Amino acid sequence: MVRFVEENTKHMEKETGNISNTDVTTVKKKVLQDLSINNGGGLVNSWVNSMRACSPTHLKSLMKQSSWLTEHPPALDMFEEILHVSEGKQIVMFLDYDGTLSPIVDNPDRAFMSKKMRRTLRKLAICFPTAIVSGRCREKVYNFVKLTELYYAGSHGMDIKGPAQGSKYKEGKSLLCQPATEFLPMIDEVYQKLVEKTKVTPGANVENNKFCASVHFRRVDEKNWSDLANQVGSVIKEYPKLRITQGRKVLEIRPIIKWDKGKALEFLLESLGYANCTDVFPIYIGDDRTDEDAFKILRDKRQGLGILVSKFPKETNASYSLQEPDEVMDFLQRLVEWEQLRSGA
Ligand SMILES: O=P(O)(O)OC[C@H]1O[C@H](O[C@H]2O[C@H](CO)[C@@H](O)[C@H](O)[C@H]2O)[C@H](O)[C@@H](O)[C@@H]1O
């Protein structure tokens, strides 16, 4: 196990140049977390247990809703305060897709966004630079959203593209960032293997997200979760350059490079000309564990704010909460109305 951790850490060093001791520790921690899935046996259950632990009933009993809401107040109730702290700063919007703009559904191919949400997003993108940051591949999330005037960061931020047209925030040159292109053949290969390996598990579904892959547990009977996690582990253990992270009833298989939704947020702010600016106010709204990387960046930098979409108390680096996509839409709509009033548009 030690050798595996060392090899992955070395690989990270190669990928990212010189990294600090803190980074090395973080990577080792990540690799060890991955190993708890990859090594099979009793360890594979740690992921399944973690997924169960994330279930609403368990979370409810762990944390009291009322004290959680005190720590992460509803963003709609705090709207005026949020506007107050953003005063004089350029708001930049970052939005996750699944569970934030569209409701969580059993079939990932049917996670449609409402027309009203699309209309709101279109107006939002006129008011502020707006990016969608998703675990899905960029093309897929674009096909759901269908707005050319937005920035899209697909595959957990590993595939970033600027607006095709219609955005007043568009840079002169076209923006494209794909830090994991060398992994494309590997992800393709792993995707095929995962499809083959998991087909014995009823309800399992593997999604090819271009620079990463998702194995869905949502339609799998809970008694088969350990089997499915074992199948995934048995494929991934042959690929030390890949790691596994957990989303909502999904395992995400991605390159072990130092890139995530937080890095994507930083990259986009820099591309928009707001690197190290004090007069920028990024707002990131997301519902997933993978959004925590972005919430953490904002919290650490004391810049802007993160809003977690959740009906139940959860450990989070976000400052505020919204319960569901309908509340996200109300929040975005209020932002639009406020900006239109403010700018006299
Ligand atoms: O970053 P996101 O935009 O939130 O994408 C994360 C994953 O979202 C999708 O899966 C989730 O939503 C599905 C549809 O509602 C649901 O069936 C699944 O259980 C959720 O995990 C998407 O299918 C994945 O590829 C994304 O990685």
342 CA → ligand 1 middle, Å: 36
Beta bridge partners of 246: 251
Residues 134 and 236 in one domain: no
Residues 47 and 90 in one domain: no
Q: Residue 254 and residue 316: Cα distance in Å, rounded? A: 22
Counting from 1 in the atom list of ligand 1, the atom nearest the Cα of 106 is: 17
- Domain assignment present for 18: yes
- Domain assignment present for 107: yes
Please report the pLDDT score of residue 175 as a whole number.
Answer: 77
Q: Is 175 exposed, middle or buried (0-12, 13-18, 19+ CB in 10 A)?
A: middle
Please report the pLDDT score of residue 60 as a whole number.
Answer: 56
- Identify the CATH number of the domain in which residue 99 sits: 3.40.50.1000
CB 36 within 8 A of CB 62: no
- Domain assignment present for 64: no
Residues 165 and 52 in one domain: no
- Domain assignment present for 48: yes
From 95, 98, 144, 295, the mutation candidate for ligand 1 (largest count of ligand atoms within 8 A of CB) is 98
Please report the pLDDT score of residue 8 as a whole number.
Answer: 35
85 CA → ligand 1 middle, Å: 32
Residues 162 and 277 in one domain: yes
Tell me, using a 6 A CB cutoff, whether residue 34 lines ligand 1.
no
- Domain assignment present for 132: yes
- Domain assignment present for 66: no
Please report the pLDDT score of residue 295 as a whole number.
Answer: 98
Rounded mean pLDDT for each run of 10 residues along the chain, 345 residues in total? 33 34 41 44 66 65 78 96 95 98 97 98 97 97 96 97 73 78 98 98 98 97 96 96 94 96 96 91 96 97 96 94 98 97 84
290: closest CA among 218, 214, 206? 214
Residues 211 and 86 in one domain: no
Q: Which of 237, 254, 271 is the last residue of a domain?
A: 254
Tell me, using a 6 A CB cutoff, whether residue 97 lines ligand 1.
yes
Tell me, using a 6 A CB cutoff, whether residue 108 lines ligand 1.
yes
Counting from 1 in the atom list of ligand 1, the atom nearest the Cα of 105 is: 15
Residue nearest to atom 5 of ligand 1 (CA): 135
Residue ranges of E strands in the chain: 90-95, 130-133, 151-154, 159-161, 176-177, 205-208, 213-216, 242-247, 250-255, 280-286, 305-309, 320-322
Tell me, using a 6 A CB cutoff, whether residue 96 lines ligand 1.
yes
The SS3 assignment for 99 reads coil
Please report the pLDDT score of residue 29 as a whole number.
Answer: 46
N-to-C CA span, the chain: 60
Residue nearest to atom 13 of ligand 1 (CA): 108
343 CA → ligand 1 middle, Å: 36
How many residues in the chain? 345
Residues 281 and 295 in one domain: yes
- Looking at the structure of the chain, the number of domains it has is 2
Residues 272 and 313 in one domain: yes
- Tell me, what's the ipTM? 0.99
Residues 166 and 184 in one domain: no
Residues 159 and 128 in one domain: yes
- Identify the CATH number of the domain in which residue 208 sits: 3.30.70.1020
What tokens appear for 31 in the block?
Answer: 């690799």
Q: Which of 254, 277, 302 is the last residue of a domain?
A: 254
The SS3 assignment for 260 reads coil
Please report the pLDDT score of residue 26 as a whole number.
Answer: 43
4 CA → ligand 1 middle, Å: 29
Tell me, using a 6 A CB cutoff, whether residue 98 lines ligand 1.
yes
Q: Is 116 exposed, middle or buried (0-12, 13-18, 19+ CB in 10 A)?
A: exposed
Residues 9 and 157 in one domain: no
**Domain coverage including residue 120:** 72-174+259-343
- Domain assignment present for 134: yes
Residues 249 and 269 in one domain: no
Q: Is the pTM of this model over 0.90?
A: no
Residues 273 and 249 in one domain: no
